[in-house]
Structure 1
């Protein structure tokens, strides 16, 4: 078959053929689209060559237009979501430049860039600059940045699916809008994998000023093999987390049988625990097992990444910190501990192995809960069927808009009308009305009606020239220090007395420790020596008992809609046989005999009496966050109905309501608990909505610049920020109740903490489903984990364990008796 006519210049075409082989169809399509002046979104599986598809178009253009000497100006901005990926991205971008013998410079500007290097970049930008959304915003504050980018031709946003649906994504949208306003012919390309809503993703990337953007999708199905480790003994009445590290021995055998393994967990705490278990199970691999998560010191993370690349490490226990980015060629096996909670996440992590076209990605699933066997099988079903989750873009986060407006004004004065038109070109703010924009202008110039008496909140000034100015040097310096939308509790730095940094933990964890108390971090047993000014000095602990593992907030992910549907489908109409399904057959058989197997075709509601009271168990299969909202709503409505206090628990499959007495099965009653009538009012009344809004406002206030965590020479404590945030919240609530940041806080509570859109959609679905009401004599396998979670939350650990064991014995005896009959 004759070779297709080259799209690239002959030298670049030869380089690609020598180093990458024959171009894939989607790579050629991307190069052709770029050469035609198009912008677009490139969608392809991990490991298929997206970087070269996006990079060689701009490089080819420069080869045709620029002299091949050191004078090349900055032509390309490459935005990455993780600064840790910058060095590997630079290497990939530099390969063809060096291969062609060109003297063109590549460089990075991220939070990890040294002060010396940042100063160099202020003098001259490289041919291609790799940066992050935060660093791009910082560069926009420089009054000469536009001039230094005068020759910019293209901007590429890597891993766009990771930014989409986040405030960092909106920050990126706004930054791109500014660049497109400066350079109307700028070409914008985004790289994405494992995403379901490509049209929305492209719209958010390109904005409304580029309706002719293209989507290039690789017509290549990534082969994926999922093998799930089946526990030898599976309890017929399992509960969440019970299997835990009992699976360490078979996991260790899988690690021993492979070359290099990435072992993913879903939280940093799990990573710390599993690292300990794997080290203990494989003592002969001491020094060849490592750990990687976002709180570990950067130098240690880089050492681990280097060990993956050179093959000196056999296993790295990690979190999503290694989900993205570089090609770890030696990795031939991925292990996922616990359900991935989403089909896209499973595929993304599996893609860390077989990280090249044509290679099969292999992943081993390790359940921490017996029903997660079904989740692994369902995730395989979903991947086979092409059911990939969407990332919903955010709409009008005004805190980000306030921050970005001040960022732009630091760089250059601008007219309110021009800024308004610029922002309306983004998807996030295309529906921004003039009244809301006038509020933003008033807020940054006066602090709003509640804060106009305080000069520190009057940052920008609308002058007689009709332009907004922000040239207060102290306020500008403070703004630059706090640019960004990533909000978390203050990070406490862990150090040895020698000065060596280990990483960070959250303030809430370290303040609960006493001096001399032991804890586990980065695989070490440590003890606290002292805590002063956001630094905790520690030393190796010689205590025999194992210390506690830090808990980081925001670790758990809810079950996705797509995976929930795949689970319900597998329970009732399995698309194919699966070992996992066979393994849990005894559990499902008892569920059928004692009640009904829940699913999406009807809503199963169980009524059960135990020593603790009367229980209603409902199984919508909508994920933990939605069930939390449904349980809160139903409990409040039920309490009004029966006049009793209602307790609740929830998991990814359903939720439970419990009272001492007064509960019963009645279809009109159940329907009334789950109606959408007066939904918002009832839900807000059921929650401590004022306190939730207060907490959410703290994050918004930080992003909008009302609170400054970082001050010159120090960082404010979490307690100080809480006090300041609460005071501002009270002031706005009392004197400025129509403040749009308060409105945003209420909206974010509903969408982010309770998934309001999905919750309402679930209630609409339930209204169309028939109810299956079942009174059971005892707890069913589906009800047992909900009951166990409540027990653990309400009783001391020893008492909960005793009661749990007694209930397990009772249920197992009954199940065995029925089996023998």
Structure 2
């Protein structure tokens, strides 16, 4: 397939389009076993992936499913269906298109299985469920292509591992299946290609013209950012002014709670009543759908959002993206920038708004990385075994299987290509018996081996429970929020159980941009009513709290080597200059430690740049080491770049504190009895099928699931510490929650090159850490006033009082410098 048929050529002409070179190459290489296309946002990636399918189906000869499209977002699947329907209808093509997500009705699902559409749009979770059915061979009969959109987003999570295992199963059912991956932002194309390929076959990489560099700047306000915090309230008026000057603005935040707070403040300042919406994953599905529909129609001037709108949905006339807070990850920033000017060869326009003073430096480093095309990403390890255990159970639901053939199938998936047979057999044994310590319990005896050697479910009725628990996304233990029934019972979204437990009748909180009052809990549903209060409690949505990437941290440290910083605002450049004058700036390849007295305590600041989780873990380990050395630490606080420890005794020699072997030993002891391990165990045990969150009777609450998982953890820890689930738990904890790998990277980076300075007072770079610490106990209406007073006191103590904001007669805001 190489030439564009006349009907398609005519359609392109009526649209005023011409086929892009990479779209032409996708046609020419339509028969490649696997192909990864990397093209800029607006470059027609989706059409590139579907053009061979549309041409193949144009004659109407194909019956059943031809192409499977997998998307990480339900909304993205719906958007693709909408966009695909246009050329199909306008060219009169005999093609059926349908989507299946978690929101699809049961009636429609049955119809799809009985009579599959030619183009089927779905998510990794729905695909895993579909391959678990006995009739999967019939449903996927004739499948020729699979198109994976935004593959970079899936490659970074267990959802991607589950998807590739499901594709390995499909490849067994359809040996000639062709794979196509689409993405705009890939830091390591070869790694994604390895994931995409059917091992050991290669996956070719096709790079499109990247197009013009984005128009990205920092929004500079007259009022300097605060020394700490993440809300960027100081920039509300400047952001609102930008909204007024553009057609549609997406305002991205890193967490849902920050999005809610910012939306509330933005609405209070919205004197012209501009139509502004909010969109994040904790909102009710219907409310998200209404916002999405309004965006498509162009009814909204701005949308405050989170990662729920990161990916490639064409939301119409978006001409500006604003990122509130440092992006933490350059690849994520590029993805978000691409939502603006969703057209090929048109630069995307974006503004960065640092939430605090240090984030100004981080934002400038991120700007430089974007312009240099330097994307960041952490290397992915081997395929996780808890996902493999779930996949084995999924395969068993579809019918008896041969272990040798399944092992060959699993190792054809890139992430599992190095899986040893012994590790596979351990997962199979776990699925069959629960493992040595649990094999006496009937409920975990799930698989049996037949006389012919094949494995099957011991009780076929177990398929229902297994299917109800398919997926790798972990629940956040949330409760539904609805208006009180006498107000119509309208659903608003979800809040975390832990937050709900702190509420008493009359308390107010933010959800969906409105203030509501807690009325009570009825049948696991939080009932609320509207409230006119102006200062609510804030719902602490878990969301995602990103850590600054290793590459971005390195860029920040490299900036500290400069003699001056003309690219920084005056207030931030003066702050760094003063730090260099009274102490020194952290240097690449070295570790800066400052010690000084403050408030009657000895303070130690470690500038490790290991990301928030890594620095938090380092705080736990260092305070443990200080206890062992008799230094009497009293507490610590961590950010992405630094760690502040306070205690009774000064650190004289930091060398013994940073012995890697001692830190590793301390980590092992700490992990053994820590709640972090139990939380990690619960997540992995749920994915692996040891714990069922959902059952035909009722869904377990978070507390019930925690209780049962804690008992299991304690049992295995005592009787079989080397149980498969305990191994997986340790691997997951080290990789995720404690991020010890970043500490090891830090230790390798610094060696024994430690600069330890004994100073008489708080330093400029350390001052914001005291505000991080001080924010915890300060509550009530006086919070901002007390924080401002504390900030002024700290700044004066550290010599920062000399850094003054611009005169009041300057404009309130401007773009750039």
2:392–2:428: 8 Å Cα contact kept in structure 1?
no
Separation in 1, partners of 2:477, 2:53: 40
Cα distance, 1:143 vs. partner? 0.9
State whether residues 656 and 786 of structure 1, in contact with CA within 8 Å, keep that contact through their aligned partners in structure 2: yes
Cα displacement string for residues 267-315 of structure 1 (whole angstroms, at most 9, x for unaligned residues): 11111111111111113225x1111111111111111111112111111
Instruction: Report the alpha carbon displacement of residue 530 of structure 1 after superposing the two structures with TM.
Output: 2.5
**Match of residue 489, structure 1, among 466, 476, 488:** 476
Matched residues in 2 for 1:379 and 1:572: separation? Answer: 17
Between the aligned partners of 2:580 and 2:724, the Cα distance in structure 1 is: 51
CA distance in 1, matches of 2:442, 2:12: 59
1:160 to 2:151 alignment: yes
- CA 1:193/1:759 → structure 2, altered by over 3 Å: closer, same or farther? farther
Structure 1 residues 726 and 392: alpha-carbon distance in aligned structure 2, compared to 1, 3 A threshold: same
**Equivalent residue, structure 2, for 1:233:** 223
1:140 and 1:400 mapped to 2: Cα distance? 15
Partner residue, 1:197: 188
Give the secondary structure class of the aligned counterpart of 2:629.
helix
How far apart in 2 are the matches of 1:111 and 1:461? Answer: 31
Residue 495 of structure 2 aligns to a residue whose secondary structure is strand
- Give the equivalent residue in structure 2 for 1:410: 397
SS of corresponding position for 2:29: helix
State yes or no: 1:470 paired with 2:457. Answer: yes
Range moving further from structure 2, 256-265 or 677-686 = 677-686
Cα distance in 1 between the residues matched to 2:525 and 2:783: 38
Q: CA separation of 1:806/1:268 partners in 2, compared to 1, >3 Å: closer, same or farther?
A: closer
Query: Is the aligned partner of 1:528 residue 2:523?
Result: no
CA distance in 2: counterparts of 1:611 and 1:804, whole angstroms: 18
- The answer for the alignment partner of 1:25 in structure 2 is 21
- 1:641 paired residue among 629, 642, 659: 629
Cα distance change of structure 1 residues 710 and 605 upon mapping to structure 2, 3 Å threshold: same
* Equivalent-residue separation in structure 1 for 2:440 and 2:105 (angstroms): 40
User: How much does 1:38 deviate?
Assistant: 3.5
> RMSD across aligned C-alpha pairs, in angstroms?
2.4
Structure 1 pair 646/367, CA: closer, same or farther in 2 (3 Å)?
Answer: same
- Picking from 356, 360, 365, the partner of 2:347 is 360
What's 2:416 paired with? 429
Unmatched runs of 5 consecutive residues or more in structure 1: none
Show structure 2 runs of 5+ residues with no match. 805-817
Change (3 A) 1:602 1:194: same
Report Cα offsets for 1:168-194 as digits up to 9, x if no partner: 111011011111122221111111222
Q: Secondary structure at the match of 1:331?
A: coil
CA distance in 1, matches of 2:801, 2:779: 32
| Secondary structure class of the residue paired with 2:416 | coil
- Per the TM alignment, residue 12 of structure 1 is displaced from its structure 2 partner at its CA by 2.4
Equivalent of 1:775 in 755, 758, 766: 758
| Residue in 1 that maps onto 2:364 | 377
SS at match of 2:130: helix
Q: Show the counterpart of 1:744.
A: 728
Contact 2:2/2:28 (CA < 8 Å) preserved in 1?
Answer: no
Following superposition, the deviation at residue 98 of structure 1 comes to 2.1
1:799 and 1:322 map into 2 onto residues whose CA distance is 32
CA distance in 1, matches of 2:292, 2:404: 48
Separation (CA, whole Å) in 2 of partners of 1:721 and 1:68: 51
Give me the whole-angstrom Cα distance separating, in 2, the residues matched to 1:62 and 1:515. Answer: 59
1:759 deviation in Å?
A: 2.0
Structure 1 residues 678 and 776, CA gap change in structure 2 (3 angstroms):
closer
In the alignment, structure 1 residue 602 sits paired with structure 2 residue 586: no
2:498 corresponds to which of 508, 513, 532:
508
- Between 1:474-483 and 1:676-685, the stretch displaced more is 676-685
- Aligned ranges for residues 266-285 of structure 1 at < 5 Å? 266-285=254-273
Cα drift, residue 713 of structure 1: 4.6
Alignment of 1:121-270 (within 5 A): 121-211=112-202, 213-234=203-224, 238-241=226-229, 244-270=232-258
- The 3-state SS of whatever aligns with 2:521 is strand
Partner Cα distance (1:348, 1:819) in 2: 35
Q: 1:394 to 1:486 in 2, by over 3 A?
A: farther
2:106 is aligned with 1:115 = yes
Counterpart of 2:180 in 1: which secondary structure? strand
Aligned partner (choices 47, 50, 57) of residue 45 of structure 2? 50
1:315-330 correspondence to structure 2 within 5 Å: 315-330=302-317
Q: Which moved more, 1:119-128 or 1:621-630?
A: 621-630
The corresponding residue for 2:60 is 68
Matched length: 800
Q: CA deviation at 1:519?
A: 1.6
Equivalent position of 1:632 in the other structure: 620
Instruction: Confirm or deny: 8 A CA contact 1:791 1:800 kept in the other structure.
Output: no
Cα shift readout 1:768-807 (whole Å, capped 9, x = no counterpart)? 6x33332222211211122222333467787997598357
Q: Distance in 2 between matches of 1:82 and 1:6?
A: 31
The separation in 2 between residues aligned to 1:505 and 1:618, in whole angstroms, is: 35
Q: 2: CA distance between counterparts of 1:160 and 1:622?
A: 27
Structure 1 421/12 Cα, relative in aligned 2: closer, same or farther at 3 Å?
same
Q: Distance in 1 between matches of 2:785 and 2:435?
A: 55
Q: In 2, distance between residues paired with 1:174 and 1:677?
A: 37
Kindly indicate whether residue 553 of structure 2 is the aligned counterpart of residue 569 of structure 1. Answer: no
1:819 CA drift (Å):
8.7
3-state SS of the aligned residue for 2:405?
Answer: helix
Per-residue CA deviations over 1:639-668 (Å, capped at 9, x if unaligned) read 32234235222112221222212422xxxx
The structural deviation recorded for 1:754 is 2.5
CA distance 1:393–1:85, shift in 2 (3 Å): same
SS of the residue aligned with 1:40?
A: strand
Q: How does 1:676-695 map to 2 (within 5 A)?
A: 676-686=660-670, 689-695=673-679
Q: CA deviation at 1:753?
A: 1.5
Distance 1:733 1:178 in 2: 34
* TM-score normalized by the length of structure 2: 0.93
Distance 1:528 1:239 in 2: 33
1:10 equivalent to 2:12? Answer: no
Cα 1:48/1:217, change in 2 over 3 Å: same
CA contact (8 A) 1:792 1:800 kept: no
Given the superposition, is the C-alpha separation of residues 532 and 681 from structure 1 closer, same or farther in structure 2, using an over 3 Å criterion? same
Local SS of the residue matching 1:284 = coil
